Amino acid sequence: MTRTTVRPSRMLSRSVLLGALCAVLVPFSSASDEIPAPPQTGPVAIVGADIYTNQGPPLRGATIVFEKGRITAIGSNVSVSEGATKIDATGKRVYPGLFDTVSNLGLNELGLVRQGDDTSETGSINPNVRADTAINPDSELIPVTRSNGVLLSLVAPEGGVVSGASAVVQLDGWTAEEMTLKSPAAVHVNWPNMRPQTGRRFQRETESEQLRRRDEQLEQIRRVFEDARAYKSARQADPGNTPFDSRWNAMLPLLEGKIPLIVHANDVLQIQSAVAFAAREKLNLIIAGGHDAPLCADLLKLHDVPVILLGTHRLPMRRGEPYDSAYTLPRRLKDMGVRFAIGGADHGNGNHRNLAYNAATAIAYGLDEETALAAITLFPAQILGVADRVGSLEVGKDATLVITDGDILEVPTQIEQAYIQGRRIDLSDKQKRLFEKYKLKYERQKGAS
């Protein structure tokens, strides 16, 4: 008998090859089948619909016309040219495309597969990280999300203290560059917990250790801005002899007031600390999370700090809080005069498709319908500085809209057509294909019996 001996080096090389092959195949195994839409080639007129413009009461039985990706006419007495494609939308509704704030869409596919997770970088200070360079346009989660009317999203990195810069993206396109509407849109900072956490299961740090870590992270944040300002001054004074630093260079739009700072914070002490820091540094601040925002509403109004509410469908943050504390949060902020937007989820990319239902829950707990719709369309656009392009249906703005068979905030409502900059979007997705596949299976079984 001949015995074959495999040398360890050959075994190692095979393992390395197998690992590399898996890394290459992961993106392809999760690539979506939907083909991005081509540019609009001629004028399109949607006729006879109830149009929810976000600029007052809905227009009943009205017409909206768009050409070359922009809205050219809207109203009840609009003339339509003979060459336009007419869509009879009698009995239907037209809404602006929904705008989800703070997601990882395109950055994370399968949470348990490292090769499919590009949400964060190593290290704690990464202002130079940009979400738009890492977005995977072929993510299966993008078609699932947009098929429920969500056509825009603020895609953001996470992790560390300074996570990086987010981008406002349109949920259709061949490349990340084609999808990007605005980048950088904001710099993201995870604010440290200001009070020690006690009584938690599997807690590893003592109170003193937590306080020490908090102070270290606050000092890190202070130094980041100190170093970035020093870099800015040096580049202005002597650009030829000041070495380029990608981290501090990425901070310049923030320091110049061109983009905001988004601080992820929920606790009242976190929010107060972040607002004080932003006021001292003269930064445009947005709070993401904002569970305790009503407790410091006067402070937020004083400094005109808007809040992006993440995760309306969640449990209370503390034991003893009312069960509906998250559900009533949008209504309470509106009553207090704090600007806000509603995000789709605080975790899980598969849940961003439920954005409309987060707003619907807020309606059930006291928020009026007009504000709820604006909180997932116009308000995010205003907060993130893209309201000149999206968020409402007005002449001159992008033709980014959806046609539905009913109220977009109701679960049974179907999205019948969607357009991004006038391009008609494919609304199929993996979940719909699986539904049709197994529907056919059981129809065959029923027929055979």
Same fold for the pair 33-96+392-449 and 98-390: no
Paired strand residues for 139: 31
Element (H, E) at 160: none
Separation between Cα atoms, residue 23 and residue 247, nearest integer Å = 28
Q: What is the pLDDT of residues 425-441, one digit of tens each?
A: 999 999 999 999 999 99
- The pLDDT, as a whole number, for residue 7 is 45
Separation between Cα atoms, residue 159 and residue 164, nearest integer Å = 9
- The pLDDT, as a whole number, for residue 31 is 60
pLDDT along the chain (449 residues), means of 10: 43 47 47 84 96 96 97 94 94 98 88 75 93 93 95 95 97 96 97 82 78 93 97 93 94 97 97 98 97 97 97 88 95 98 75 93 97 98 98 98 98 97 95 92 86
Name the fold adopted by 98-390.
TIM Barrel (3.20.20)
Taking domain 33-96+392-449, whether its CATH number is 2.30.40.10 is answered by: yes
- The pLDDT, as a whole number, for residue 349 is 67
Q: What is the pLDDT of residues 192-230, one digit of tens each?
A: 998 887 766 667 788 888 899 999 999 999 999 999 999
Predicted model pTM? 0.89
Separation between Cα atoms, residue 38 and residue 250, nearest integer Å = 33
Percentages helix, strand, coil for the chain, rounded to the nearest 5?
35, 20, 45
Separation between Cα atoms, residue 155 and residue 277, nearest integer Å = 25
Domain ranges of the chain: 33-96+392-449, 98-390
By CB atoms closer than 10 A (0-12, 13-18, 19+), residue 70 is: middle
Where are the extended beta strands (E) located within 52-116? 59-67, 70-75, 85-88, 93-96, 98-103
- The pLDDT, as a whole number, for residue 380 is 98
